[in-house]
Amino acid sequence: MALTREHVDWAAALLVEKHHGTGGERFIAERIGQLVIEDDIAGVEMWLRISRCFERLQQRSSKL
CB atoms within 10 A of CB 13: 22
List CB contacts of 53: < 8 A, sequence separation 6 or more. 9, 10, 12, 13
- Global pTM value: 0.90
Domain ranges of the chain: 5-63
List CB contacts of 5: < 8 A, sequence separation 6 or more. 49
Closest of 63, 57, 64 to residue 22, by C-alpha: 57
What would the pLDDT profile of 27-55 be if each residue is shown by its tens digit? 999 999 999 999 999 999 999 999 999 99
Integer Cα distance of 36 and 6 in angstroms? 22
